[in-house]
Amino acid sequence: MSRLGDLIRTERIRQKMTTKQVAKKCGVSESYLQAVEAGTRIIADDQARRILKSIGLKQQNEAEFTLDDIAATVDLVQVQPRMVAPAAKPKIKEAELVASTEEPKEEGIAGSVWLDALQSVLKRVPVMNAVMKPVSYQLVPIENGRIEGANPDKVFYYLVPDDSMRGFRIHRGDLVLTVPAQSPVDGSIMLMNYNQHRYLRKVKILDDQRVLLQSYDREYEAETVFIHDIGFLSRCVKVTFELS
């Protein structure tokens, strides 16, 4: 049984409703609902919210949720170990649930609603500072098992340490999502090691041996450098910033 199916079944029984009654309220077949509760049927987010709402679950389940809204119902710090090795849950008999008059505790329910789905659609991507130490994380959607075409375990956000790229609309404090790239990509903004420092620079390939590294703080600057002198780390694909 899935956590979502377990939650639906538990709340249905607590409300003393049959699968037939809930299915009728939701506009689905009884066999469909039974399969959802058993964890053998994949269910869309909007259908899950409709079922939970129909049985009166006291959670956020109104219309239009984004991935961030769904993620906000889950304490990923608490549930991450369970995502790797979920602990077995004790089975609860229906008779015991019907007889109980005690209201279920709110704690833990929110974390179980979307947990199964989140494992495959969201990734905790680290935010790295200038010395490549993680300082926080961002939740990023996974599409077809990838993030921006890269292995989800290889991407990270870089916390921009200065304004050397503000002419390219990247400012100090912005978060730049990067994907692995160990060779220059023409026209891209890349994170690199050069002269024992780490830089964000826009790259223009001049020939098979040299690139032009471009920056733009108060004025445009460019430096021609041999490719073998640079340690390319990653390519920047997105910038996230806060509105002041």
Close Cβ partners of 231 (under 8 Å, ≥ 6 residues apart): 192, 193, 194
Asked whether the predicted pLDDT for residue 13 surpasses 90, the reply is: no
Handedness of CA 69, 74, 76, 80 (dihedral sign): negative
List, in sequence order, the alpha helices (H) in the chain. Answer: 3-14, 19-26, 30-38, 45-54, 67-71, 76-84, 94-99, 109-113, 115-121
Q: Is the domain defined by 3-113 classed in CATH 1.10.260?
A: yes
Q: What distance, in Å, lies between the first and last C-alpha atoms of the chain?
A: 46
Give the three-class secondary structure for 85.
Answer: coil
| Strands 175-180, 134-141: pairing kind | unpaired
Residues 208-231 pLDDT 10s: 999 999 999 989 999 999 999 999
Residues 86-115 pLDDT 10s: 444 445 444 444 444 444 444 444 444 455
Residue with tokens 């420092």: 197
Higher pLDDT, 32 or 5: 32
Q: Residue 57's closest CA among 20, 112, 98, 96?
A: 112
Cβ atoms of 20 and 29 closer than 8 Å: no
Q: Residue 238's closest CA among 183, 188, 186?
A: 188
Nearest-angstrom CA–CA distance, 225 and 192: 12
Element (H, E) at 91: none
The number of beta carbons lying within 10 Å of the beta carbon of residue 63 is 8
Domain pair 3-113 / 123-240, same fold: no
Q: What is the mean pLDDT of residues 152-175?
A: 94
Predicted pLDDT of residue 219:
93
Q: Considering the domain 123-240 in this protein, what is its CATH number? A: 2.10.109.10
Q: Where are the domains of the chain?
A: 3-113, 123-240
Cβ atoms of 23 and 105 closer than 8 Å: no
pTM exceeds 0.75, yes or no = no
